[in-house]
Amino acid sequence: MTGELFELEILGGSTERRFRKLRPEVEAMPWGTMTLEGTSAEDLVMARSAWTGAAYQEHRTAVACAITLRALIEARAPIDLIAVASRFPLDEMVHVELCARMAMELGGGTEIIYDPNEMVLDVNAAQTPLMRAAECAVRFFCVGEAISIPLLRATWHVSTHPLPKAVMGQIVKDEAAHGIFGFTFLDWALPRLSTEDLARLGASADLAIRFLYRQWCHTKQQRRAPKHHGDILGWMKTDAYLTLAEQAMQQHVIAPLEARGVPIGAQLHEFTQHPSLGY
């Protein structure tokens, strides 16, 4: 595989001090309090991989937030809406650091090789500014961020150790604003969109939804063992996670999009009935 190694750094000095002033809650986490006695080597590797993967996914989401912010400005969306969205890239970079530091608490990150030019599927530059902004809002926020909130909240609830619980709690707190943003934008944009525009947005939503369905198929194939006594890693059992994911997709993504006239074609049965996916 060709690509670059996913690595992170802090510049330090006055730049870091400004960052810490903006988000002091990062340093307030109970770092250094993890005790890993009784945790198997296999579980530790899985946890390190999971937190490293989470850092990478948050990094990808930061790219999506930045693309969305540019599109909103180009579309001359309401100033206050743009101002609210301007905080999202900062939130995501905070989440990147939190997840990366969690991996370090467990013994260090694991290797991820990626293509920095292919982190997210960009919008079609030939579309109007309004449609570029609408596609970003639907794909990145009405689907991606909206589905993450109930899943993150559930993971926070099962965390037992103060450190992962604090980390997840901060991410959940930040993501609450992200999850409603896409629908707030749509409510403003709807009078400006045609039926054909809504159909195109539905197709964009389908892409994002199908991507998540495929991830869930992979999750089921890589089933996690039941939580053992004294577990401090805070994992949800696979079946509980997938059941919640399916419910949340319908309740927090598909239903509110369809209520706004965005037609959704992606359905879970497309994947549950696909034997090669084993779902």
Asked if the structure places residue 28 within a domain, the reply is no
pLDDT at 272 over 60: no
Identify the CA nearest to 160 among candidates 168, 152, 148: 168
The answer to whether the beta carbons of residues 99 and 54 sit under 8 Å apart is yes
pTM over 0.85: yes
- CA-CA distances (angstroms) from residue 272 to 216, 269, 278? 10, 5, 8
Per-residue pLDDT tens digits for 217-248 = 877 776 665 454 445 566 677 788 888 999 99
Residue 279, pLDDT score: 27
Stretch 181-208: mean pLDDT: 96
- CA-CA distances (angstroms) from residue 56 to 8, 27, 45, 50, 172? 10, 20, 16, 10, 17
**In CATH, what number is assigned to the domain containing residue 269?**
1.20.1260.10
What are the structure tokens assigned to 223, written together?
Answer: 């089933």
Asked if the structure places residue 17 within a domain, the reply is no
Asked if the structure places residue 21 within a domain, the reply is no
Q: Whole-angstrom Cα distance, residue 235 to residue 21?
A: 31
Identify the CA nearest to 222 among candidates 168, 274, 277: 277
Residue 253, pLDDT score: 96
Asked if the structure places residue 2 within a domain, the reply is no
Asked if the structure places residue 71 within a domain, the reply is yes
Cβ neighbours, 10 Å, residue 107: 14
pLDDT at 67 over 50: yes
Distance of CA 126 to the CA centre of its chain: 27
Print the domain residue range for 79: 36-277
Say how many domains are in the chain: 1
Stretch 183-195: mean pLDDT: 97
Asked if the structure places residue 5 within a domain, the reply is no
What count of Cα atoms within 13 Å lies in the side-chain half-sphere of residue 75?
28
The answer to whether the beta carbons of residues 92 and 62 sit under 8 Å apart is yes
Residue 274: band (very low, low, confident or very high) from pLDDT cuts 50, 70, 90: very low
Residue 37, pLDDT score: 79
Q: What percent of the chain has pLDDT over 70?
A: 90
Amino acid code (one letter) for 98: L
Residue 36: band (very low, low, confident or very high) from pLDDT cuts 50, 70, 90: confident
Per-residue pLDDT tens digits for 82-116 = 999 999 999 999 999 999 999 999 999 999 999 99
Residue 169, pLDDT score: 94
Residue 233, pLDDT score: 64
Q: Which residue has the higher pLDDT, 257 or 269?
A: 257
Residue 133, pLDDT score: 98
Per-residue pLDDT tens digits for 113-165 = 999 999 998 898 999 999 999 999 999 999 999 999 999 999 898 888 899 99
Residue 234, pLDDT score: 62
Asked if the structure places residue 19 within a domain, the reply is no
Asked if the structure places residue 139 within a domain, the reply is yes
